[in-house]
Amino acid sequence: MRPNDQQRRSPPRSSRCTQSSRLPSTLHANDTVGGRLAMYLSRLLLNPYSRQVKREISDPYNLHRTILRAFGSDRKAANVLHRLEINPGGFSGHSGQMMLLVQSETAPDWGWLQAKEYLLPADPFSGLDNPAIKAVELALQNGRFLQFRLRANPTIKKVRRDANGNRLNSNRVPLVHEDKQCEWLNKQAAKSGFTIIDAIIKPEGKQTGYHKKLTIYTVLINGRLQITDTTKFSTALRQGIGPAKAFGCGLLSIAPG
């Protein structure tokens, strides 16, 4: 999944998306029916001096493997999604710090990471536990407006054929142009039970993983949405949005607003 030369020359600037007029904006017939979703949210502040952390930041696939160890043998049932944020606002003013957000449907065990000095020690002055784990139950209702954040890998599948016209394995081609990224986001929203009210898409460039054998293109999206179908929206929250989830894409974080 490597962009061509023309794609590499595209300027890495943020773009703004709004709801597409071609997509349905009305609520479904069951718009008075709410839904509830239970899950676990973990916040881990990583130790930037840890050798293991440094290795895994340069190879997100290995970071994903480390995260899965917290869920024992039944990892599929955990339905794990994650997103790494470098020096995010709100928990520290120091540059270079890393916050790992992990969402799961079963409770994690991060104890072994503490023993390996993978995490920063808890700060008694700030009151921040590390790791911090909470069980949450979300009340979902059609028509509700929410703020959201999503790291995504906007792509399309390109079908390949041999000389005889037989279909070969398809490739994922990254979408690097603003209009195509907005179109991709609106399509994902339509099938995930929400519409985009407003969103800013910030290109993050390429990431490599699994011994540099895989390359993906990621964007960070912040915006507002409106729930239109609680069943589909609940599925999107649990299963994530788009491809490259092992690279930290797909986790849809929401907040009131």
Same domain, yes or no: 83 and 176: no
Q: Show the domain range for 86.
A: 36-138
Are the CB atoms for 207 and 218 separated by under 8 Å?
Answer: yes
Same domain, yes or no: 185 and 198: yes
Q: What is the pTM of this model?
A: 0.83
> How buried is 120 (Cβ within 10 angstroms: 0-12 exposed, 13-18 middle, 19+ buried)?
buried
User: Where is 205: in which H helix or E strand?
Assistant: strand 194-209
CATH number of the domain that residue 114 is part of: 3.30.70.1200
The domain boundary, picked from 83, 115, 138, lies at 138
CATH number of the domain that residue 175 is part of: 3.30.70.1210
Same domain, yes or no: 146 and 225: yes
pLDDT mean over 94-118: 87
Helix spans in the chain (H): 5-8, 51-57, 60-68, 75-78, 111-115, 178-191, 230-239
Helix spans in 103-202 (H): 111-115, 178-191
Same domain, yes or no: 115 and 177: no
**pLDDT tens-digit map of 8-34:** 444 456 788 876 433 333 333 333 345
The domain boundary, picked from 103, 138, 173, lies at 138
Q: Can you give the pLDDT at residue 112?
A: 87
**pLDDT tens-digit map of 149-193:** 999 999 998 876 667 767 766 788 999 999 999 999 999 999 999
Separation of first and last alpha carbons in the chain: 35
Q: Could you give the number of structural domains in the chain?
A: 2
pLDDT mean over 223-248: 96
- Beta-carbon contacts of 137 under 8 Å, excluding residues fewer than 6 positions away, are 36, 37, 38
Same domain, yes or no: 246 and 149: yes
Cα radius of gyration rounded to whole Å, the chain: 19
